[in-house]
Amino acid sequence: MTQSYAVWYEPSDPASGSSCSVDVHFNLWKTTLASHQRKIGSKAKQSKHVKYLLDVGVLVNEIRSVKSLSFYCPYKLEKDLIFDLGTILVQSPQLVNAIFNESWDSRKEAEFPDELLMTDSEGFDKVKVHSLDMARSCSVVPIAEGSEIKIGMNENSAQEVKSYYRFRIRIPKEEFVSKAYRPMDGFLQTALTASDVVDFRLNERRNLPHSLFRPPGERILATLMKVHFLMMRPLTEDLIPVSAPVSQSRQIEWGMWRDYLEGRYSDTEMVAYHWKYKDKDLNAIESINLLAKFRFRHVNIKTIMLYLIIAAILGIGFSLVASQFDRALHPTDESESIIDHQEDLSRENAAGE
C-alpha cells in the first residue's frame, strides 16, 4: 500500500489550542546527474542514471503559534540527503516571484542576512523567506516506517509576516516515488513503450502509520489551505492524468533554474506539469491524493545487439551449409582427377587380366 507524506507541527503553547495553517509547494524532478553525461562527437550522450528530487516549500501562516514544523517522508533518509533551498532563494528574489507567481519587491535587513523579505507594490510585507541552519535548526529523525524532517522556528520568526521554508530531498531510491512498468515481451522489442506511475499522497491519515499519533495530541497535522504540486519531466514523456486533470503545463526555462538545481543535474528539455489544490470557499483541504502516469519510448540497445549477434551467427551458419551443399553438387577438379585416376587403374587392371 502506498504510504502518505505528512506535515505536522508542535505548538508554541499547547494549552492555547491554536492551529497552524500552511500552504505547501512540491516540485518533483526527474533528472540525471550532470556527471553521468558524456560527449560523443558533437552530441551529448546521456546515461540512464535517473535521479528524483523532491523540493518541499512550506508557507506558515501563523508562525507565532508554532514552535517547530515537521515533514514526514514514508522512507528512511540520512541528513546528507537534505539540502536547504532557502539559501538560494534569499539570493534570488526572481526565483521567489516565480514560485509564488507574483511580482513582489524584496529587501534585506542588515541584522538578518539569512532572510529575504518580499513586499508588494505598496510596501506591505508579504512573505519572509528563511535560510535553514542545517546543523542547528534542522534535524532528521527515523520514526515509524520513515523519517521526520524537523525545523525549529527561530525567534525572529515570531512576527506577523508569513514565513517560508524550502528544502530539497534527494530521493535515495527511484521506487520511493515512481513505479516503472515494462511490457512482458520487452526483451524481444528493439524499441519499447514503458510507463512510470507516480502516486503521491499528503496528510492522508489512513495511509500513515498509526504509531505517529500515539499518544494523541503529540503530533498535530497542519491545516492545508493550498497545495501546489509540480512534476518536472523530460519533454519526450507523455502525461496520462489519472486522478486529476493538470491545471497547466509549460516548458522549463533553464536560464533561471540552472543554479537552483545546484549545477549537479542535467538541463535537458523538460516540461513542468502543475496541479493546484484549494477549496473554492477557502476552506481547509483535508488531504491530497495525486496519481499520474507517464509514457515514453526508448531504444533497447541490448536487444538490438542480441539480434545483430544472432544475425551474424545465422549468416555464418548459412554460408557454411551453402558451401558444403555446393561442394556436394559440384565436385572440384582435384576430386574429378582422383576419380579419373581410379578409373584408369581399373581399366589397366581389367586389361591385364
- Cβ 299 vs Cβ 201: under 8 Å: no
Q: What is the pLDDT of residue 42?
A: 41
Place of cell 495530541: 217
Residue count of the chain, please give it.
Answer: 353
- Whole-angstrom Cα distance, residue 2 to residue 44? 37
- Cβ 168 vs Cβ 83: under 8 Å: yes
Whether pTM > 0.85 for this model: the answer is no
- Whole-angstrom Cα distance, residue 64 to residue 126? 16
Indicate the helix (H) or strand (E) that contains 305: helix 301-329
Domain ranges of the chain: 6-299, 305-352
Mean pLDDT by groups of 10 residues along the chain of 353 residues: 86 77 94 57 50 94 87 94 93 90 86 87 86 89 93 68 93 87 56 81 92 80 93 89 85 82 75 89 85 77 67 79 72 56 61 59
Q: Sheet with 288-299: list strands edge to edge.
A: 179-181, 191-202, 288-299, 238-241
CB-side exposure of 45: number of CA atoms within 13 Å? Answer: 4
Q: What is the pLDDT of residue 101?
A: 87
